[in-house]
Amino acid sequence: GVGGTGVVTIGAVLAQAAQIDGKGAGMMEMAGLAQKGGAVHIHCRLANRPEDISAIRVATGEAHALIGGDLVVSAGAKTLGLTRTGQTGAVVNNHEIITGDFTRNTEFKVPSDRLELALQARLKDRVDLFDASELARVTMGDSIFSNMMILGAAWQRGLLPLSHDAIRQAVELNGAAVEKNLRAFEIGRWAVLHGTEAQRLIVPNVVAKPKSLDERIAFRVDHLTDYQSARLAKRYRKLVDSVSDPKLKEAVALGYHKLLSYKDEYEVARLLLKSEEKARAEFDGDFKMTFHLAPPMLPGTDSEGRPKKRAFGAWMQTPFRLLARFKALRGTPLDPFGYAAERRMERALIKQYEGDMASVLPTVTPATLDATVALAALPLDIRGFGPVKDANAEKAAKRREELLSAIRQGGKGLSKAAE
């Protein structure tokens, strides 16, 4: 699995249960890679007697059971190399977890289908796959119990030569969220036997109808009204409604909205107040809110050279309310935050976009449509905040020149520009 999700704990429970059953057990965390979010491999050997275990590390093709808390790690070459067709049985959580690749490539998507096929090609019919993370979230309110569900499923499939009572005792001895972990273990047992029923819990029968373009535009009109004013929403609607081609209209609707609703101090305050209201609606008991912020007026950077975040207590709710009320100052000479370089850049991008659309929309042709669509959607690539946003804006500026050049040439060089 991945670090920070209790993978090491599962290995410890197995080793403890083996000892309770009077068996031999050895557990080894490979290369100490249990940092949060990193790939973790726990090798665990079980034997009838302790003296039967001479080496803990599982060699190539030796694994009898694969308990997979993460699809990417479980279907990786390193893991599959330990398995053998006809010998290894597996239960794997196929929930799509965002990995470190996303931080380097924002278009990264977990290739779930390919990973599942790799497992099935190797293990044939001896692999069970289900979304344990979502099942844990739906049934227990927290996906952290997904690994215990996978353990329960593996036990139910006969992959673990341990008694039910020994595993229960091992969980109790571990002492962490005992009742919830035991419940998760039993839900995992049930899920692997009743796949259809489990899937209904994860994906309800009523499938939401995809929203139409008009509905998505209306949603953004409402959002801009809350974000700033009805005047800004009207400005947005005017440009979007001037486009007739559906594909181009969608690109303008998404791209223009992204620029108009830049996340500044007023918007952060509004969103954090909403998150506090949501937390109080979802959680009971005595708890306090802590906000992690990097105010531009405070000095200091983190290890990566980005503005340093600091923890602020619940007292920040008062300044948040004041900020949210003064959102009408946004973009005016009275806006104290509007003089920051990032805010000036964001306003300049809006003006530039409106100028570009005024130039290219009236003259769009079938030959230039694809490049015009790409230009209209270009703001969606300007993600992040601070230095990250600056870097993405610089890339987008170069891309903009390529697209405008292709449009001016009537579609010549379009294949490269519209990729």
- Domains of the chain, by residue range, sit at 7-202, 213-263+338-417, 265-329
Residue where the block lists tokens 């479980």: 74
Q: Tell me the two tokens of residue 208.
A: 């939401």
pLDDT at 176: 86
* Cα–Cα distance, 40 to 302 (Å, whole number): 27
Polymer length in residues for the chain? 419
Q: Identify which has the larger pLDDT, 334 or 338.
A: 334
**Mean pLDDT within 204-222:** 76
What is the residue-wise DSSP string for 6-71? Answer: SHHHHHHHHHHHHHHTT-EEEEEEGGG--SBTSB--EEEEEESSGGG-S--SPPTT--SEEEES-H
Mean pLDDT of the chain: 85
With beta carbons less than 8 A apart as the criterion, state whether 39 and 68 touch: no
Per-residue model confidence as pLDDT tens digits over 369-384: 999 999 999 999 998 8
pLDDT at 419: 47
Using alpha carbons, list the distances in angstroms from residue 348 to 253, 342, 374: 19, 10, 19
Those residues with Cβ within 8 angstroms of residue 323's Cβ, 6 or more apart along the chain or in another chain: 265, 266, 269, 270
With beta carbons less than 8 A apart as the criterion, state whether 377 and 400 touch: no
pLDDT of residue 102 exceeding 90, the answer is no
**Single-letter residue type at 157:** R
Residue where the block lists tokens 């209201």: 277
* Cα–Cα distance, 199 to 130 (Å, whole number): 8
Per-residue model confidence as pLDDT tens digits over 232-256: 999 999 999 999 999 999 999 999 9
pTM of full prediction above 0.85: no
N-terminal to C-terminal alpha carbon distance within the chain: 36
pLDDT at 416: 47
CATH number for domain 7-202, candidates 1.10.630.10, 3.40.50.11310, 3.40.1280.10, 3.40.920.10: 3.40.920.10
Q: Identify any residues that bridge with 43 across adjacent strands, giving them in sequence order.
A: 28
Strands 24-29 vs 42-47: parallel, antiparallel or unpaired:
antiparallel
Per-residue model confidence as pLDDT tens digits over 280-301: 554 555 667 777 777 766 777 7
**Mean pLDDT within 93-119:** 68
* Cα–Cα distance, 315 to 312 (Å, whole number): 8
Number of H helices, E strands in the chain: 19, 7
**Mean pLDDT within 323-352:** 89
Angle value at C-alpha 137, between 136 and 141, nearest 5 degrees: 105
* Cα–Cα distance, 6 to 92 (Å, whole number): 15
* Cα–Cα distance, 82 to 99 (Å, whole number): 22
Q: Find the farthest-apart pair of alpha carbons in the chain and give their distance in angstroms, rounded.
A: 82
DSSP, res 245? S
Confidence of residue 36 (pLDDT cuts 50, 70, 90): low
101-115, 201-215, 267-281, range with the lowest pLDDT: 101-115
pLDDT at 32: 47
pLDDT at 175: 87
pLDDT of residue 101 exceeding 50, the answer is no
The H-assigned helical ranges of 37-177 are 71-74, 77-80, 101-104, 112-123, 132-140, 146-156, 164-174
Q: Identify any residues that bridge with 293 across adjacent strands, giving them in sequence order.
A: 310
pLDDT of residue 304 exceeding 80, the answer is no
Residue 52 buriedness (CB in 10 A; 0-12 / 13-18 / 19+)? exposed
Residue whose C-alpha is closest to residue 93's, from 57, 137, 30: 137
* Cα–Cα distance, 259 to 400 (Å, whole number): 15
pLDDT of residue 77 exceeding 70, the answer is yes
* Cα–Cα distance, 267 to 277 (Å, whole number): 15
* Cα–Cα distance, 154 to 156 (Å, whole number): 5
